[in-house]
Every structure is written in C-alpha cells, then in structure tokens.
Amino acid sequence: MRHVLIVLLLSLGLSLPASAQSAQVESTISSQIDAFRADDFPRAFTYASPMIQGIFGNPGNFGVMVRNGYPMVHRPAEVRYLDLREIAGRLYQKVQITDAQGRVHLLDYEMIETENGWKINGVQLLEAAGVAA
C-alpha cells in the first residue's frame, strides 16, 4: 500500500507542472483574445513575443494584421483549447475557434516562455476538415 501511495504522489507531482503550464498558456491566449474583443490592440500586443513585436513594430500595425488576416481571432464566438504539445522542442497550443458566422477554425499557437511569462510567438491556421461546429 505504501508503494502505491508513493507512486501516486510522484505521478501527481510530475503532472502538476504540465497542468500549470497548460493553464498559463491558455491564460495568455485568452487574455490576448479578450483584448482583441475590446479593440485594445496595445494590450493585445503585450502578449506577443519580442520577435512578433519586432516584426510589426507597434500595436496599430499588429491590429491591422489581426483584423485582416485573423478575423476569427478578432471577434470569436467560441474558443476551445485542444492539445498542448511539444514538437521539436517548441510548444504549440491547438485552439478551435468558432467565428460569428458559425465557421470552425483550427489554429496552432506557438508559445515561448520569457522572463515576463508566456508569449505568443506565432499563429498558424490549420486545415479544419472534419471539425464539426
């Protein structure tokens, strides 16, 4: 019985960091989406990685890119977090977003951990075949 308890405690201890990491990643993405919904592009820009901030230069340019290239993220009707996974040493959060017209989109958020917390280092639109709304 003692052996089972030790194994259980170890397995819980090992899973806590992954769970906490997942919650932090989801919080970062949710916070950015909340900022988009409020048209608060300066706040949304703070959740972008230093690389993304360097590419767009300022919140205005970033906002134009989001409105034109990712309208489903700018005004989502529903957001669901799917798999958080590591690929070739990089962390990706798959997110299912339903837009205002009811269309379902799958996006992969590349996440990086910085001294200021988790940041979004890029978003890729995935093929959403077979995803039901």
What's the CATH number where 97 sits?
Answer: 3.10.450.50
Residue type at 38?
Answer: A
Please check whether residue 29 lies inside any domain of the structure.
Answer: yes
How far apart CA 12 and CA 5 sit, in angstroms, is 10
**Is the pLDDT confidence value at 18 over 60?**
yes
Please provide the DSSP assignment of 58-107 as one string.
SHHHHHHHHHHH-HHHHSEEEEEEEEEEEETTEEEEEEEEEETTS-EEEE
Please check whether residue 133 lies inside any domain of the structure.
Answer: no
Total number of domains constituting the chain: 1
Q: pLDDT value at position 130?
A: 54
**pLDDT per position as a tens digit, 97-119:** 999 999 999 999 999 999 999 99
Please check whether residue 69 lies inside any domain of the structure.
Answer: yes
Tell me if residue 125 falls in helix, strand or coil: strand
**Is the pLDDT confidence value at 32 over 60?**
yes
**Is the pLDDT confidence value at 132 over 70?**
no
Please check whether residue 44 lies inside any domain of the structure.
Answer: yes
pLDDT band at 13 (very low <50, low <70, confident <90, very high): very low
**Is the pLDDT confidence value at 7 over 90?**
no
**Is the pLDDT confidence value at 85 over 70?**
yes
Please check whether residue 67 lies inside any domain of the structure.
Answer: yes
Please check whether residue 131 lies inside any domain of the structure.
Answer: no
Percent of the chain with pLDDT over 70: 82
- Range of the structural domain that residue 19 is part of: 2-126
